[in-house]
Amino acid sequence: MHALALLSAGIAFVGAIMVITRRVAVHAVLYLVVTLLAVAMVLALLGAAFAAMLEIIIYAGAIMVLFVFVVMMLNSGQPDAAREGEWLRPRAWAGPGVLAGLLCGELLYAATPFSGHAWPLAPLTARDVGLGLFGHYVLMVELASFLLLAGLISALHIGRNRVEDR
């Protein structure tokens, strides 16, 4: 179990590094998918199989396909690459880098006491997730659904076929 989790975490880590170093956008997105799959694996090993499956279906399956879809259409050439090189000067990434490092350290500190002890957790079933969502977190769910509804309606509005405009 432990070795598997470590392996998955390692894959996720390497995948994440690959994402930011790839030149071809589609390759980067593919590594992102690998990362997501590895994270799903970790979730499954932690006993949250339901969340793991949702991660694959929604993130790796649906959202990333949309990413690939968009990236496929953007044929970024040499000038774009040069412009991106411009953005990657130390001044631009120093601040976020320090913040990310702090976060990473915090995570490591928080994680160490647990490692090795808390296995295996009680499996988290769909029922638990559902009860949690519609019990404890119902306000969040409702807010998110409002947001999605607004998005849906605006998409409908933008995509509507206006005859008088032609």
Partner 1 sequence: MMRLSLPVLTPLAVLGLATMLTWVERRLLGLWQDRYGPNRVGPGGVFQAVADGVKLLFKQDWVPPFADRGVFVLAPAIGMMTVLLSFAVIPFTAMGGIAGGMNVGLLFILAMMGLGVYAVVLAGWASNSKYALLGGMRAAAQMISYEVFMGVSLLGVVMAAGSFSLRDIVAAQGRVWFVIPQCLGFCVFMLAGIAETHRLPFDLPEGENELGAGFHTEYSGLKFGMFFIAEYAGIILVSALVTTLYLGGGLGPVLPAAVWFTLKTCGMVMFFILLRAALPRPRYDQLMALGWKILLPLSLLNVMATGTIMMLRATTP
Please enumerate in sequence order all residues whose Cβ is within 8 A of that of 131, keeping only pairs 6 or more positions apart, or say none: none
Candidate ranges 5-13, 69-77, 114-122, 144-152; the one touching partner 1 (CB under 8 A): 69-77
Residues 6+ apart with CB under 8 A from 42: 5, 8, 9, 12
Q: Which is nearer to partner 1, 42 or 60 (CB)?
A: 60
Nearer to partner 1, 4 or 126 (CB): 126
Q: Is 33 in the site for partner 1 (CB under 8 A)?
A: yes
Among 8, 12, 15, 30, binds partner 1 (CB under 8 A): 30
Indicate whether 155 belongs to the interface with partner 1 (CB under 8 A): no
Gap between the Cα atoms of 37 and 59, Å rounded: 9
Q: What are the structure tokens assigned to 65, written together? A: 């396909």
Site stretch for partner 1 (CB under 8 A), options 3-11, 26-34, 84-92, 93-101: 26-34
List Cβ neighbours of 41 (8 Å cut-off, separation of 6 or more): 4, 8, 11, 52
Q: 64, 32 in Cβ contact below 8 A? A: yes
Instruction: Show contacts with partner 1 in window 35-54 (CB under 8 A).
Output: 49-50, 52-54
Q: Which two tokens stand for residue 104?
A: 């990473």
Encoded tokens for 144: 């998110």
> Contacting partner 1 (CB under 8 A), which of 10, 105, 123, 151?
123
Q: Considering only 10-18, 88-96, 122-130, 138-146, which stretch makes contact with partner 1 by CB under 8 A? A: 122-130
The yes or no reply on residue 126 touching partner 1 (CB under 8 A) is: yes
Q: Which of 6, 24, 144, 149 binds partner 1 (CB under 8 A)?
A: 24
Question: What does the DSSP 8-state code read for residue 122?
Answer: P
